[in-house]
Structure 1
Amino acid sequence: MGRTLVIGDIHGGFKALLQIFERAEVTADDKLIFLGDYVDGWSESSQVIQFLIQLSEKQECIFIKGNHDVWTEDWLSLGSDTGVWLSNGGKSTVESYNDYSLENLDLHLEFFQRMKAYHIDGENRLFIHAGYSSMHGPEKEVYSSNYRWDRTLWETAVAMDKKLKKDSTLYPKRLLLYSEIFIGHTPTLDIGITHPANKANIWNMDTGAAFTGALSIMDIDTKEFWQSEPLPALYPDEKGRNNDLFRTKIR
């Protein structure tokens, strides 16, 4: 019986993706859950998507959609390339598609369109790119963009008093809805952590691969994890998203 493995934000780091697959010894029996932001940053966004399309034909994969994936989907479908997106890693994504045929572009667009907003498994574990604000969970969210942009869920968990018990009236109701929550979107580097971070019942898998961190993969049952080399070491002639004008505001 295979494992269930969860993967953090990739941001065009195809070399890192291959590296964590090798280090985790991923097999076709493993179920893979990707938390989004496959593109925008390092130079191999299109290669990441092509690899994931082929991977999904061989084994069970769940692909959650991130905010950067929405931008790329809009560009593939509408040709829109806003300055905000281009300055937040989109330029490298566009360049990675320079040699693609219209047929292959359509295949990639279909892949983005099939991505899920979130996933809840049989153990009541939630997998979502960013978070949600509704006290009733993501299915009751008024603004679906929160699935890809919300940071308040993670910020709440980080700021919580560790001594607060679940039966306390002060315990955040949003966190009681699921046994565990797996997210990406907000780099753990922001709180000085370079590996998957656990706060309350949330596991943050974005270990800063877009910037100076590594890409991470984790067994959701045992919590054993594996990491790539820091992305700047794998792409020494590139800057990733380290030169983004809006880095401190938009991730």
Structure 2
Amino acid sequence: MSEKIEDIEIQLLLEALYKRFHYDFRNYAQASIKRRLKQAREQLGFASFSALQESLLHDPTMLLRLLGYLTVQVSELFRDPSYFRAIREKVVPHLRTYPSLKVWIAGCSSGEELYSFVILFREEGLEERTLFYATDINQDALAKAEAGIYDLSRIQLFTENHRNSGGKSSLSDYYSAAYGSAAFDKSLRKQVVFSDHSLVTDAVFAEMHMVSCRNVLIYFDRALQDRALGLFKESLARKGFLGLGAKETMRFSEHSQSFTDYVREEKIYQKSAR
């Protein structure tokens, strides 16, 4: 089958996904979305993208299975510890000046970044005055985030990351281990709102003091990146903070003038006061 025909099939599949289920991947970075769809087609056993599209439209179980390929994110607690150390040492002192806080973890996937923030804020004495919003388009991932259960084999890395981020306690204080899994304490979720939210189609829903959206924008094309960054700009309070992933930047965005570098090497920005 020619690549041109495959590209047409992919466009039609993404259009069907949007029109039938309102999940919009049409402006995701083409190379990334094509790679993920090829993996889905092969592993789900379809001869063509057209066959996958037919199943998506007629098999109620196919949507969640396909979303698992399209939204897969590799994450870990305190991923890139220097980012969390910068939050702890340079952002938290500013956040302490507010009587109440709202923090948005956008594209939270299965929850590792969320728990990193909640633990950090607990250690810094800010958890009780903070409401955390954890959002993703994948409801299966959100369910995993809300459960807060991870394979025990990952805990050694999580523990090392936590220590390197400037952790002030032992990570083992926050989970219980049994049957090969680590279940994070329910108390870590008492200040959390889990919600289905799309950076592609949905609007701003609250005024935030910090937004952390890391390693999501790299999957968007330029127009979609600008839409998401515009959402963050609108949602942030004056002098609020935005954290992006190591390979992401505000530099070429139409919204770049609305932000200043706060911790440049960690991709932490501050919304301008004006």
With the length of structure 2 as denominator, give the TM-score of the two structures. Answer: 0.36
More strand by share: 2
With the length of structure 1 as denominator, give the TM-score of the two structures. Answer: 0.38
